[in-house]
Structure 1
Amino acid sequence: MSEVQTSTPAEPEASAQQPVKPIAWPAGIAGVVLVIVGSFLSWSYDSSILNDLSINLYPGGLQILAIIGALLALVLLLAERGPLTALGSWLDATLGLRALGLGLTLYMVLVIVAITVESDGLINVNPGAYVSLAGAVLILVSSRMLPLRQLRDLSQARLPGWVEILAISVMMAVILFGAAYALGLTDAWSFILCLLFIGTVILALFRTGVMTWFGHVAQRHKKVLTLAAFVVAFFFPFTQRGSDANMSIACQVLIFAATAMGLNIVVGLAGLLDLGYIAFLGSGAYVAAMLSESAFSTIDWHPPFVVVMLLGAGTAATLGLIIGSPTLRVSGDYLAIVTLGFGEIFRLAMFNLDGINGPLLTNGPNGIPGIPDLEIGNFNFGDEHTVAGLDLGRFSNYYFLLLLLIAFVILVFARLNNSRIGRGWVAIREDEKAAEAMGVNVFGLKVLAFAIGAFLAGLAGTIKAHQDVAVSPDQYIFLESAFLLAAVVLGGMGTIAGVLLGATILKLLPEKLRFFSEYRLLLFGLLLVLMMRFRPEGLVASRRRQLEFHEEDEALAVAVEEELVEEAK
């Protein structure tokens, strides 16, 4: 690797205080061997649980994950002492090994718990699981005996451009196949174990510094990363073998993400707390339903879907102006209360537009069912299609349409964020009085944020109505607005990747972990509390946002200042 600034690894102070124990490295190697050997042995006596881990010398999916974890630990051990020591001068192998050791230990403990619970007894755990557990514990103990070292700054490492692009491509391919494998797990315990393994690997990569380096590579090749991400998203339906279950979840994630991206303009950029945002999604859905060819449609006019999208989005934007104009004179908690009330007013209005309490538009609590599938030209989104010998069902068709929508929403957000309007929103978020004193049209930009965010949500709503086949008032309750806001906060306010990640987590996990449905809100609240405590800026936060929460971090302040200088150039 080459460096931007020449530096040499300094002798670590920790090494002088913590001498290397000769047994540490061999113990780690022995742990790797035990994990691999144990994974080739049977873990469970019962073949009907955890996708069959009962066959010797034929590892199941969860056993293969353990083998992958052990091989990653082997790479870090060889970087610590062995043929990969040149790499070890850059990687923080010890911290990465500690994360892997702890993660693998928890993974094996949870495997034993899952087998015990699913098969009604610890006696059904076969020796292979205990062998792998012993190996994981040995890796963890070994990592604690290895000394910490002072390393060169991996973020300064540069590789040839084609190598960095190849690294992006490999990362995207791993994400594609990893997501396909995880979503293909129908057993809840297997899915939880897979999530634990993925979290362990990600944590280890962060601790070694690899993810920091990858972040800098992504910044240098933004266009390549964006293109690779959309290629991965495009090929995702082809990995599902025609399964409608996972594609239905994927469609819901994209609708949720597009709506959350619109809310990100209001909350993330302009700093306006909106607790009734789901009403804008619902307005677009109801417009599409009323103009559809459903037998329960209340308007005898069925324009092309492009016109319907514009009408639905325009209606939502108009509602945004209506709620924004009189209420944006207030701020903070008062604005939150007003928007919360608006969301409830919308839901109750949909109940009362039933021809009895008001005009016949929404059929009241019955909603508008029987909405036909979209048909654009000769292409019917309800029909199955075969591409390259692979079946693509109804939800795959809507998935590709939603992929175009999310691309449009991301483009709008990115352009606005980097524009004069975006800078005005950020100024309002930081200090409204100071922004007004500097000549920023505070009220106008606030109303514009509401209108544009509502417009994007309305677009998503028009597609949601056809994909769901029905609309009803109980789909647009306050809890949905709370989840949208949580997706923005959890992922990282004001960022694109963060909101997409937050929306995916909050929409995917409840669908895959239905046996936790009674405790969903409890887990959701616990997750937010932990996030506010350990990472208040969100999972994927911009440098500026991080600095707001970590003002004492001098290194971060320097990095932010350098980014501002580069932007000014």
Structure 2
Amino acid sequence: MTTSPAAAAVRRTTTAALARLEGSTPAPVARALIAAGAVLAIASAFLSWTWTARFPGDLTVTGYPGGLQWLTVATAVLLLLQVLAAYELPGLGSLAPRGHTVPLRWLALAAFATTWFTLIAISVELNGLVNLTTGGWIAGIAVLPALYGALALPGDRRPAAAPTAPAPAWQERLWVTLITALGLVLFTYGIDTSYGELFEGYLIAIAFSAAAYLKSGLFERLAALLQRQRPFALTAAFVAAALFPLTQNNDHDANVGVNILIFATVALGLNIVVGLTGLLDLGYVAFLGVGAYTAALVSGSPYSPFHNAEVPFWAAALIGAAVSLVFGVLIGAPTLRLRGDYLAIVTIGFGEIFHITVQNLDGTSGPKITNGPNGIPAIPDISVFGLNLGTAHQLGSITIGRFANYFFLMLIVTLIVIAVFSRAGNSRIGRAWIAIREDETAAEAMGINGFRTKLTAFALGAALAGLAGTVSAHVTYSVVPDPYVFAGSTPPNSAFLLAAVVLGGMGTVSGPLLGASLLYLIPEKLSFLQNYQLLAFGVALILLMRFRPEGIIANRRRQREFHQDEAELPTQGTEVDSVKLNLNQAGA
């Protein structure tokens, strides 16, 4: 196949520009610029950046960092460690299995973006750059040579590092413990941020740093480590999650944690339908509503018509999951013979029917069961083995409040849902789901009963959502129809649940958990997004589909499908050679 003159010209121009940039500065000089900029940026954080404490975080103190200055320190330290790793220093050489140039560039961008975000925020909040003091100007200037040195650094010319032999089991478990502790610290820091500017800077630092270590190949090694130590890693993750409420000084953050777990659990149930089976369900939040309303009706609320038939929580949970499962079968039986867009339209219709029905069961338009728009309030707290989750308890000197109690309960429910998802996904029925997702016609030709298999996925996903709904009803004290719509102002709703699955990574366990955490926490911390949530997440989905269509945490099968061309590229050589090969393939 011939190459067009225009494509050949673009290829020559791009290759020449990359060669000029990479060859403009010798590697030792570029690394020296990066190291000097990082050290100077760290030092600047110990000076005041503004003269007034009106900017959140009090950046007027000299002697130690505060507020957003800590983010500059963190990104500059990571950049400095990456520079030292380029010299193969003991213990640091493994930071970049694929080479050091690309992660250095991303970390330099992290330091630059974080620092200048702070300086611009100070200028906007206090009306002008004149409000910056010496420390702020030093920080802003220090990251510039670091960024220039990273961009001018020649590409890596050595082969990518071969996979290392597994370390002794005790060392790997120690690393897993450290990684889990770091994850707990990062999550706790993010949820503890007390003002919007700090959370925005935190997101910037996390995003650029994660991109750096993703490009470096470090995440792949960590994933392999966690896979080898899977039982220990799961135990460590559970312990870290259980420790989270003990790190909080107020009940609000524990409340955020409970709602994240509820949102994540429901998203994980949706992942069975969408991620494993490939069915586009746009009314899934209705099953959460079925579970919540069922629990509200049988848990002893004085506003329930069945308040005299109060049942213990374990029974209410089983009833809620069972009723949701029945609704899943009733809705799925007549609709799952449809495919694609037609199925999506029908599921939207089911969600709207549920929302309208619970509004009309108010005693006027229909029987008085759900109290219509007023919902069912005054749902009593759960009592488990005589322990009332609605009251605070003491654990030594630590006070465990109401939402911390519900966090522990929801953590157990999440573990149950994860176990069901994992066992089902790895079973015979799970392989049948994946076969239907890939090609339903081919799966049926191989003897798989497509309708029955899809109905099983639909019913199981509905039951898991109903189980989470039974806890949600008690956490919020009341159940009203407003949240159970396709798209609303607050999660969970069907649009946000689907976005959590797609953003996090379809077909994985940790993907929906991460996606749900981000989609709940970001609007919670950034109040200005309250009226623009769908716009913001629409933009996020577009960017993700462009740059990482398999999701943040990728299923290995789907990752290979989306990056077949990249898998064929050579694993060694310069970045210029890789660009040349891409351009040659594009123009061929």
TM-score normalised to structure 2 length: 0.89
Alpha-carbon distance in 2 for matches of 1:272, 1:109: 44
Which residue of 517, 539, 563 corresponds with 1:550? 563
8 A contact 2:97–2:218 mirrored in 1: no
The SS at the match of 1:28 is helix
Rate the CA distance shift 1:346–1:24 in 2: closer, same or farther, 3 A: same
Give 1:143 shift: 1.4
8 A contact 2:508–2:555 mirrored in 1: yes
The answer for the alignment partner of 1:215 in structure 2 is: 223
Matched letter for residue 236 of structure 2: A
- 1:501 to 2:514 alignment: yes
Name whichever of 71-80 and 473-482 sits farther off. Answer: 71-80
8 A contact 1:285–1:462 mirrored in 2: yes
Give 1:388 shift: 3.0
Give 1:124 shift: 1.5
Give 1:87 shift: 5.0
Alpha-carbon distance in 1 for matches of 2:272, 2:106: 36
Matched letter for residue 189 of structure 1: E
The answer for the alignment partner of 2:38 in structure 1 is: 32
Which residue of 275, 279, 293 corresponds with 2:282? 275
Which residue of 505, 513, 521 corresponds with 2:534? 521
The answer for the alignment partner of 1:443 in structure 2 is: 451
Give 1:372 shift: 1.3
The answer for the alignment partner of 2:349 in structure 1 is: 341
- 1:76 to 2:89 alignment: no
Alignment of 1:410-489 (within 5 A): 410-479=418-487, 480-489=493-502
The SS at the match of 1:123 is helix
Rate the CA distance shift 1:421–1:229 in 2: closer, same or farther, 3 A: same
- 1:320 to 2:332 alignment: no
The SS at the match of 1:511 is helix
The answer for the alignment partner of 1:67 in structure 2 is: 73
Alpha-carbon distance in 1 for matches of 2:551, 2:343: 23
Alpha-carbon distance in 2 for matches of 1:204, 1:554: 20
Matched letter for residue 542 of structure 2: V
Alpha-carbon distance in 1 for matches of 2:198, 2:238: 28
Q: Per-residue CA shift, 1:370-409, capped at 9, x if unaligned?
A: 1111112321111011213111111000000000000000
The answer for the alignment partner of 1:7 in structure 2 is: none
Rate the CA distance shift 1:265–1:28 in 2: closer, same or farther, 3 A: same
Alpha-carbon distance in 2 for matches of 1:225, 1:556: 33
The answer for the alignment partner of 2:5 in structure 1 is: none
Rate the CA distance shift 1:377–1:164 in 2: closer, same or farther, 3 A: closer
Alignment of 1:167-182 (within 5 A): 167-182=175-190
Which residue of 150, 156, 159 corresponds with 1:143? 150
Alpha-carbon distance in 1 for matches of 2:192, 2:459: 39
The answer for the alignment partner of 1:264 in structure 2 is: 271
Matched letter for residue 355 of structure 2: R
Q: Percent identity over the alignment?
A: 46
8 A contact 1:327–1:335 mirrored in 2: yes
8 A contact 2:96–2:216 mirrored in 1: no
Q: Per-residue CA shift, 1:482-510, capped at 9, x if unaligned?
A: 11111111111111011111111111111
The answer for the alignment partner of 1:116 in structure 2 is: 123
8 A contact 1:270–1:428 mirrored in 2: yes
Alpha-carbon distance in 2 for matches of 1:286, 1:540: 33
Q: Per-residue CA shift, 1:310-369, capped at 9, x if unaligned?
A: 111111000000000011111100000001000000011101111222222101111111
Name whichever of 313-322 and 216-225 sits farther off. Answer: 216-225
Question: RMSD over aligned Cα, in angstroms?
Answer: 2.2
Which residue of 286, 302, 305 corresponds with 1:295? 302
Q: Per-residue CA shift, 1:142-169, capped at 9, x if unaligned?
A: 1123222244544612333322222221
8 A contact 1:155–1:212 mirrored in 2: no
Alpha-carbon distance in 1 for matches of 2:473, 2:569: 45
Matched letter for residue 117 of structure 1: V
The answer for the alignment partner of 2:141 in structure 1 is: 134
- 1:363 to 2:371 alignment: yes
Alpha-carbon distance in 2 for matches of 1:277, 1:557: 43
Rate the CA distance shift 1:21–1:405 in 2: closer, same or farther, 3 A: closer
The answer for the alignment partner of 2:3 in structure 1 is: none
- 1:183 to 2:191 alignment: yes
For structure 1, the residue ranges without an aligned partner over 5 or more in a row are 1-12, 559-569
8 A contact 1:154–1:212 mirrored in 2: no
TM-score normalised to structure 1 length: 0.92
For structure 2, the residue ranges without an aligned partner over 5 or more in a row are 1-17, 488-492, 572-588
Alpha-carbon distance in 2 for matches of 1:235, 1:411: 21
Matched letter for residue 131 of structure 1: I
